[in-house]
Amino acid sequence: MTKHAQIIEYIKKLKIGSKISVRQLASGLGVSEGTAYRAIKDAQLAGYVCTMPRIGTIRIEKKTDEAIEHLSFAEVVNIVEGSVLGGKSGLHKPLSKFLIGAMEVKEMNKFIKPESLLIVGNRKDAQILALKLGAAVLVTGGFDVDDEVIRLADDIGMPLVSSSYDTFTVATIINRALYKRLVRKDVVRVKDAMVKEPDYLGIDSTVGDWRKMYKITRHSKFPVVDKEMKVCGIVTTNDISSMKDNILIKDVMSKDPIVLTKDTPVAHAARLMVWEGIKLIPVVDDKKLLGILTRKDAIKALQHLSFQPQIGETVDGIVMSRFSMSKIENGVKLRGKTDPVMLNPYGVASSGALMTVMANAGFEAFRVQKRLETVLDSFTVYFSKPVQLEQEIEIEAKIIDMGRKSGKAEINLIHEEKLVAKSIISVRVIDR
């Protein structure tokens, strides 16, 4: 095991809430400060530690996939640029909900829940009540906090945080952070679609082993791993054709293959497969094999996503929500109104927003008419007239050419029966 890996393992074994420093790790484990620094940064990326201003780096509990939509109190401290006054041992805990203490204390009992966050000003009674009920407290306005409240926070292990921002600003910042987290949650990632515990070959395997594996699984592509389960290559039918059974896999495999992490968006993986002309990509964590993603798996995930409502809206989602879709001969038609979110600074429909609608109409034409998932190859658009606010527009997208791996569609944007814009979209098909 390398020194880097040893430091990571050491960090994992530390007690939650422990403070970590580069100098401490370097002297304690007998490594250079540069090595310790890089290991802490990697541990931070992996979610094992968190660095906060005026506090330092502390060991936190790694988030589970189920809790991705939640912020930790440590993250809250960072986003509100706050200071931790007490209860540092609870910084790793997730924030389930937050509320504003703008009511009588006796009325707060019914709203405050364990591991929630009460946002309040200099109200000592409300601060104490929240802590006794198992909630964290964020004091706004930069007010001083009584020593009794600080001691209580330390005793129960729930964070007591102070921020110089006002209550409205703090609530807005936290709400925006939760919103971004929800958008991330809605993105289908490789870990949601990959094949776990896949078949693989060792670096010392032979072509004969590949043929045996093929007879059992009927798969023709396998990742190749070393003794530490790190991916070092991939082998396919083309690599071993006409090879004798005693030839070693490491001598014929494709080295340094493209790999994915479990948090890579499936859409990105699908596009990568199309552009690189590959049908299987190993999924790794610190170069170790976790699973594999095939084109078939990616397509299923993308098709499933198209039927799921988004909790957090994206730019595409906001624009497309203004339009209804119907099927026409060899294509689709979108109808809707130009919305204020679609305007440019001059008060007419933004060319970017209109291009978004037109491009999505093209993708939908292939999805509805051909049941195909596609990725953009090229998009050419010509505008002739502006469109004002609250105007009815129609977008017609018709498939004009369809090949085995690519297609083209013509898209017309119409307002008051006049052509406003015309485009040609070229796509590549994500085939199985």
Q: How many residues does the chain have?
A: 432
The order of strands in the sheet holding 195-196 is 195-196, 288-294, 280-285, 260-261
| CATH architecture of the domain formed by 3-59 | Orthogonal Bundle (1.10)
Calculate mean pLDDT across residues 130-153: 91
| CATH architecture of the domain formed by 315-429 | Roll (3.10)
The whole-number pLDDT of residue 312 equals: 45
Q: Does the predicted model carry a pTM greater than 0.75?
A: no
Angle, nearest 10°, between helix axes 3-13 and 22-29?
Answer: 110
Calculate mean pLDDT across residues 269-286: 84
The whole-number pLDDT of residue 309 equals: 47
Calculate mean pLDDT across residues 140-154: 91
Q: Per-residue pLDDT tens for 376-407?
A: 899 999 998 889 888 999 999 999 999 988 99
* In the chain, % of residues over pLDDT 70: 91
Residue 125: partners with Cβ closer than 8 Å, 6 or more residues away: 105
The whole-number pLDDT of residue 311 equals: 44
Calculate mean pLDDT across residues 122-144: 91
User: The domain 65-185 is classified under which CATH number: 1.10.3720.10, 3.40.1390.20, 2.30.42.10, 2.60.370.10?
Assistant: 3.40.1390.20
With 90 as the cut, is the pLDDT of residue 366 above it?
Answer: yes
**According to CATH, where is 3.40.1390.20 located in the chain?**
65-185
| CATH architecture of the domain formed by 191-303 | Roll (3.10)
pLDDT band at 66 (very low <50, low <70, confident <90, very high): very low
The whole-number pLDDT of residue 68 equals: 44
Tell how strand 160-162 and strand 83-86 pair up: antiparallel
With 60 as the cut, is the pLDDT of residue 65 above it?
Answer: no
Calculate mean pLDDT across residues 85-107: 84
With 80 as the cut, is the pLDDT of residue 305 above it?
Answer: no
CA distance 65 to 47: 12
**According to CATH, where is 1.10.10.10 located in the chain?**
3-59
The residue assigned the tokens 């104490």 is: 128
Q: Which of 15-24, 134-143, 215-224, 414-423 has the lowest mean pLDDT?
A: 15-24
Task: Note the maximum CA span of the chain.
Answer: 82
With 60 as the cut, is the pLDDT of residue 63 above it?
Answer: no
Calculate mean pLDDT across residues 408-416: 95
Q: Per-residue pLDDT tens for 174-206?
A: 877 776 665 555 567 888 889 988 999 999 999
Output the CA–CA distances (angstroms, integers) from residue 248 to 123, 206, 216, 287, 288, in the order listed. Answer: 73, 4, 20, 22, 21
Tell me the residue type at 277: G
Q: Per-residue pLDDT tens for 309-344?
A: 444 456 777 788 889 999 999 999 999 999 888 888
Cβ burial of 343 (10 Å; 0-12, 13-18, 19+) is middle
Q: What is the chain's mean pLDDT, rounded?
A: 85
Angle, nearest 10°, between helix axes 3-13 and 33-45?
Answer: 60
**According to CATH, where is 3.10.129.10 located in the chain?**
315-429
Output the CA–CA distances (angstroms, integers) from residue 392 to 59, 217, 356, in the order listed. Answer: 55, 55, 16
